[in-house]
Amino acid sequence: MKKPLFDLSHVCFSYDGVIALNDISFSVEKGETVLLCGDNGSGKSTLLKLLNGLIFAEEGSFVFDGEEITAKKMKEALFSKRYHRRVGFVFQDSESQLFNGSVREEIAFGPEQMGLSKEEVNRRVEDCLKLFHLEKQADRAPYHLSGGERKKTAIACILSMNPDVLILDEPLAGLDRKTGETVISLLMQLKKAGKTLIIATHDDRIIEKLGGRIITFSEEHRVLSDIG
């Protein structure tokens, strides 16, 4: 029997006693597109943080590709590095993950940390700049970019590492319609290429065009429905 890529079993998490995830159980197969829906505060962003190894289940378990993800495990530098090579996370607030002096340096950072050759790093940077039409912004500081340009840069940074899984929190938030369509088109390409996508969204355009499986969270921070 094939094991799922992600497997959550009765996961619970709270912030200072306030429940954020309440008995969450579901699995995700390799290559699936999963859309997380529900009202603000229902637990979607908290779940994404857990999947990215930023917080950890207080009860229940979260297993990735056969290995349980725990605080102890993620403190192991080699394990954590390997995990984040495979699982890329794009925050809703793009500014929170941009810290280098230029767009080019931002995109190069991940591949450099992977120990890739200078030639391979440069190739990936140029490919991402072209893919997101960021060539003119390549040498600009991220804080000089528009909101849409920062969002594209953040996604480019993750894609430059070629992860197996791309996790995005409200990827169209703050984008104009044209930039949003560019991001949706890219997500459709990634889906077609067989990448595993997990996306928290309120945007009907993503739901309509990407399709896939829809997991809806309730106000009680539980899985209300799992369709597809």
Order across the sheet with 33-37: list the strands. Answer: 87-90, 165-169, 196-200, 33-37, 213-217, 223-227
Q: In the structure encoding, which two tokens stand for residue 50, read together?
A: 């857990």
Single pTM value for the model: 0.91
pLDDT for 80: 93
Q: In the structure encoding, which two tokens stand for residue 203, read together?
A: 């945007």
pLDDT for 1: 61
pLDDT for 82: 92
How high is the mean pLDDT in each 10-residue block of the chain (228 residues)? 90 95 97 95 95 96 96 94 92 80 93 91 94 91 85 90 93 84 89 94 91 94 93
pLDDT for 146: 84
CB atoms within 10 A of CB 93: 15
CB atoms within 10 A of CB 140: 16
Q: In the structure encoding, which two tokens stand for residue 18, read together?
A: 């306030």
